[in-house]
Amino acid sequence: MDIQELMNRVAQNLSVGRAFGTAYEKGGTLVIPVAFVAGGGGGGEGTTVPGSDAQESEAPSGGHAHHGEPSSGSGGGFGGVVLPVGAYVVKDESVRWIPAVSVNIAILAGLSVVRLLVRARRRARRRHHRG
């Protein structure tokens, strides 16, 4: 895969269509799903000039490059995440935002973080008193 093809795939995956899902209508109400989209990618290419010190290092295949044989390599990758955020609901010329996050789950997650912080602080105090 060349760099142009990689960039085209990145553009497809980070499009507005990923953030705003396909709108649909049900019972006179228009629903537009919304998501958080984030991603990143990278690529690289490398070669070794014959006679350089780098040829004695490991080759990409896991073996060692032999003296006099040039090494080369290339690679690329992309990663991303799409998380539902909520939906816009349009009915009778009014728009409402409905979040996808449950308040109960948010409260439980917050309490879990507080619990972890309290535990970490206790452990730090114990280590401080021992030392």
Q: Give dist(CA 107, CA 89) in Å, integer.
A: 25
Domain that holds residue 10: 3-100
**pLDDT confidence tier of residue 103, bands split at 50, 70 and 90:** confident
Computed over every residue of the chain, the mean pLDDT equals: 78
The Cβ of residue 87 has, within 10 Å, a number of other Cβ atoms equal to: 20
Say what the pLDDT of residue 55 is. 45
The answer to whether residues 22 and 64 belong to one domain is yes
**pLDDT confidence tier of residue 67, bands split at 50, 70 and 90:** low
The answer to whether residues 110 and 85 belong to one domain is no
The answer to whether residues 38 and 92 belong to one domain is yes
The answer to whether residues 118 and 93 belong to one domain is no
Query: Which residue has better confidence, 75 or 22?
Result: 22
The answer to whether residues 50 and 27 belong to one domain is yes
Q: Give Cβ neighbours of residue 105 (< 8 Å, ≥ 6 apart).
A: none
Instruction: Provide the number of structural domains found in the chain.
Output: 2
The answer to whether residues 113 and 127 belong to one domain is yes
Ramachandran angles phi, psi of 123, nearest 5°: -65, -40
Query: Which residue has better confidence, 12 or 94?
Result: 94
The answer to whether residues 71 and 110 belong to one domain is no
pTM score: 0.47
